[in-house]
Each structure stands twice: as structure tokens, then as C-alpha cells.
Chains A and B, each alone.
Chain A
Amino acid sequence: MQTLLTQACTDTLYMVGWSTLVAVAGGLPLGILLVLTDRGGLAQNILANKVIGQIVNVARSMPFIILMVALMGFTRWVTGTSIGREAAIVPLAVGAIPFFARLVETAVREVDGGLVEAVQSMGGNTWTVVRKVLVPEALPSLIASTTTTVVALIGYSAMAGTVGAGGLGDIAIRYGYQRFQTELMWVTVAILAVVISLIQFAGDHAARTLHHRGGRSGPAPRLRLLKAATTDTKTV
């Protein structure tokens, strides 16, 4: 049972890890593009915005299990196989890209337009604005979005067992549900709960640290004051 669970854990982390990387790499530019091409955006292009937005919507409305089956051909082309954990990464990433892109879009829209204007007034171009303003200023939100995406991907990865990719969700379904091994089911659920809590905690912590540094309106003003005092003494 131990080896089974260890193997399942590794599989889940492997799938989720890689698909998160791909989702961030794909979703970040896509989300920024959604903001830039929107009406009044820096690279306004209504047609492109509509097209990208529609693709994202369609991809997001597709149930994951259907997406997995629909993408089998593409998966085989990318990884050379349509079963196993490598094969599961492709539909997981493809499903998470539009999800993450929408979160990025919301986060980037929150950035104060005045900052964009300030950089423009210094002679910065759109790329400068993205690099120096949009991404760094939205970073705390972007990290929170990544956390949400990772947690969602862990959920999706349960279905990856369908293509023989293993993972914790697969154990819970095959052993726990189909073979009535209730304890095993609870153990997997407990492991998942711990993993997700840890990820959420780490993500929240990272986002909060960054936010405090910028400290627009942190939840603990007292703490911030103390921090400010310590940085001051460091400067002196």
C-alpha cells in the first residue's frame, strides 16, 4: 500500500508540476494579450480580442474528460503516446491555459492605469509597460492565481487515471471506490487535503510577502509599521 501511494504521489506531482509550468508559460502571455487588445488597451485590436476571448471561453467550457479524449491525436503527436503520465500532461496543460489566462487577465486589469501612463510619459513602449509595470505590479495576484491553478490541476489530475497516468485521484477511484477499499480512499483524500493546504499556504505566504513589500493595504498595519522601522534602520 505504501509503494502504491508513494508512486501515486510522485505521479500526481509530476503531472501537476509540468502542466502548471506549461499553463503559466502559455496563460500568462495569453492573459496579458487579452488585456492589451481590449478596447482602450495599449495594443487595441478588437477582432483579435474577440477571437482569443472566444477560444478561451470554448476551451474553458469543455469538460476535462472530453478534452482529454478530444486531444488524444494531438497528445500522441506531442509526446509520442496517448497513455501514461506524460500523455496526461498535455490535456491538463491545455485545459489549464485558458483557466490561468482568465485569472491573469483579472489580475492585470487591477493594475492602476496611472502607472501605465507614467511609463508612457517616460517614453516606454508597450513591451516596457508589460515588463516593468503590468507583470511586477500584478505579481502578488499572479502568484495567487497560480496557486488556484495548481489546486484546480490537482483536481483535474484525478481524471488522468482514465488514460493510465496514475496519481492520487486514480487510486481513490480505482481502489477506494471501485474496490470498496474505504480506508485507502480516506488516506488518499487526507494526503490530497494536506498537499493542497500546503500549496495554498505557500502561495498565500508568497503573495502576502510581495504585497507587504509594496504594502498598498496590507491586513496587518501594525506589522507593516514594524517592518518599515526595521528597513529604516538598515538604511541608516
Chain B
Amino acid sequence: MITTSDLTKVYRSRGRAVTALDGVDLHVREGEVYGVIGQSGAGKSSLIRCVNLLERPTAGTVTVDGTDLTALAGRGPRAGRELRRARSRIGMVFQHFNLLSSRTVRDNVELPLEILGLSGRERTRKALDLLDLVGLADKARSYPAQLSGGQKQRVGIARALAGEPRVLLSDEATSALDPETTRSVLQLLRDLNRQLGLTVLLITHEMDVVKSICDSAALMENGRVVESGTVSELLATPGSALASALFPVGGEASAEDRTVLDVTFHGEAATQPVVSQLSRTYNIDISILGAALDTVGGLQIGRMRIELPGRYEDNVVPIGFLREQGLQIDVVGEPRLVREGAK
């Protein structure tokens, strides 16, 4: 749905050049929620602003819903009619909401419809429908200053949906909100994604956002995408920084002669109650040192760190059993043995 290829953005000011995006290839599939995470300065803001060409990329192409936006852009900083029409089909929500303080909530939602040239009656009807969708039908006549942060962002989302976009860009939409409100706004985005089949590209610096609603994620560092993929693909990648940040497990071995294993659950393999099976089959006591698990669509996704009695040599058979179940097993603290075991 959204594809960027070799996207590069270099900011030049007074002879100095700063590379914000350094050849970013991103592929967002239709109907998924895709999260781009990174620290401030990693280039994620430049990335999302390049997707609807609020920021002109220095090189590379952006394709949204089959349209090559970079080709529409033309030369010069002003957006031509083609690009503006394409933009009206991409919704965008902002960290600081960016609602017009001089307009009521309803008039704010009507703004994109005014730009699209709808008649007054149609605009009103549509704006009220959208406010109903985001749960703010009773606030239509309020001014943004009278709303809470979460309500403002809901208005922002309603406004972004007014042009019936198939793609929604979210620029740190929940970063200015408290945890409770963040959850409800994310839930709303998730619902919209499911109900309307909306493709969502969001950028954030909060791992929780990715964890709670994203199907896929990408990690950005210094203007590059370091890792990307669906959440279970990332989990399956050994040593994935994003996976270990999403599902952090800790815990040290309680004694010398113990084996510590990281068990990664993803995909179909995670349907079996493996820990109790293991315990029963081999008659061993298993302690759980740490776990970060989520149940998504009835499947467990995540990691668990468990401890088995005895050294690695004593546990080759149980580990083999776990691997047979299709689980990914990493032995913690003994990389040499892991490699030997892999042979």
C-alpha cells in the first residue's frame, strides 16, 4: 500500500548537510498497522512527512496506493493539483493535534470536506457521522480549547478520515497523551483499521504502541531502517533488537549448575502448553525466570526465560524436545555450547 524505495532526505542549511533519511526502503501491506520506532533524531518524522510529501525527498520514490507521489510532485516547493488530490486521500494525525482553535469541533472536521468542495449539507452530515464514529457526537459545537487531549486527538482522527482515505499516517499521535488516553486512542486506531480496512503507518518512540496495535514494525537508527518485518518475523530473527525490546526477558541463573533457555513463541507452534508437557515428560522442575507474552488472535507471541536443573550437557534431550515442538530455543550465557549443540 505504501512503498518507499531508496528514500533519501538531506537537509542543507548554510553549507552544512544533515542526512535525515539514508536510503529507506519500506513496504507497508494493505490493511496492516505498521509502526516505525526510533529515538528522536532517527529520521522517523522525516520519513512520515516524506510519505505525503510535506517534505520533499532528496532522492528515491514514494508510492501510495499505486500512485507514485514523487512523480506527481513536479519541481519547486509548491504542490501541484495532482499531488494535492493524492494528499486528500491520505489522512494524517499529528502529535499536537493541529486543530484550528477558531473553529468548532464540527467545523474542524468539515475543513477537509470544504477543500474537497462538498456542499454545506453534505459536509455537516458527514462530519457528524465521523464524530459519532470516534465517540464525540456530543462535542460537535465545542471548541478545541474545551476538550481534553484525548478528545482533541479523536477530533484529529475524525478529520483525517473525512476524505475517506485508505491510508492513515500517524505522526506520534499518542506522544502528548497520558497512558490511559493513549490506550483508548490506540484502540480506536485499531478498530478503524479493522472496520474500514484502513492501512495505518505510525511513527512513535514508545515500544508499547508497537506492541499493542502493530502488525509489523521497523526500527530506525540514524536515518536507516535497521530491522523490519511482521512482529512474528522479528521474533524469529535471532538477536533482533526490536524483538528483545518488544518482549524483554531478564533473570539470571539461580545456581552454577543450571541451564537457562530463552523460549520464543510465534506462529502455529505456540498453541501447545509446552512447559507443562516438558515437565511431565522428563520429570524435571522448571522455573520461569521471566516472560513477556501476548496473545494475539488466539496465539501466544513472545518470549519466556526458563531455568532447567543441570548443565547444558544434561539437558540436550529436553532442549531437543522443545525444538521438535517448533519453538525457537536460545541457550543463554553459553554461546560456545549453543554452536556445538546446533551441529
Contact = CB atoms under 8 A, between A and B. Distances in A.
A214 B142 CA distance: 10
A116 B77 CA distance: 14
A235 B142 contact: yes
Given A118-B92, A121-B92, A122-B115, A231 B146 contact: yes
A234 B98 contact: no
Contact of B143 (A126, A213, A234): A213
Interface size class of B (residues with CB under 8 A): 35 or more
B141 interface: yes
B101 interface: yes
B238 to A, nearest CB: 40
Interface string A118-159: 111111111010001100110100000000000000000000
B142 A216 contact: no
A132 B100 CA distance: 9
Contact of A123 (B85, B102, B142): B85
Contacts of A125: 78-79, 84
Given A125-B79, A213-B143, A235-B139, A119 B111 contact: yes
B145 A216 contact: yes
Contacts of A119: 111, 115
Nearest to A218: B145
A100 B197 CA distance: 51
A121 B87 contact: yes
A66 interface: no
A236 interface: yes
Interface in B218-250: none
Interface size class of A (residues with CB under 8 A): 20 to 34
Interface of A is mostly: helix
Contacts of A210: 102
Nearest to A115: B98
A228 interface: yes
Nearest to B140: A235
B115 A123 contact: yes
Nearest to A236: B138
Interface in B68-97: 77-79, 84-88, 90, 92, 94, 96
B145 A231 contact: no
B100 A123 contact: no
A89 B138 CA distance: 51
Nearest to B162: A122
Interface centre among A42, A118, A139, A231 (most CB of B within 10 A): A118
Given A114-B96, A228-B142, A215 B116 contact: no
Given A114-B94, A214-B101, A216-B145, A120 B87 contact: yes
A122 B54 contact: no
A183 interface: no
Contacts of B8: none
Contacts of A216: 101, 145
Contact of A214 (B88, B92, B102, B163): B102
Nearest to A43: B78
Contacts of A213: 102, 143
B191 interface: no
Nearest to A133: B100
Contact of A136 (B99, B102, B115, B146): B102
Contact of A132 (B111, B116, B169): B111
A44 interface: yes
B258 interface: no
B56 interface: no
Interface string A201-236: 000000000100111100000001000100110111
Given A42-B78, A117-B94, 8 more contacts: A121-B92, A133-B100, A137-B100, A137-B102, A213-B102, A214-B101, A214-B145, A215-B146
14 contacts: A118-B159, A121-B92, A122-B88, A122-B111, A122-B112, A122-B163, A123-B84, A124-B115, A126-B78, A132-B111, A137-B101, A231-B143, A232-B146, A235-B141
Interface of A: 42-44, 112, 114-115, 117-126, 128, 132-133, 136-137, 139, 210, 213-216, 224, 228, 231-232, 234-236
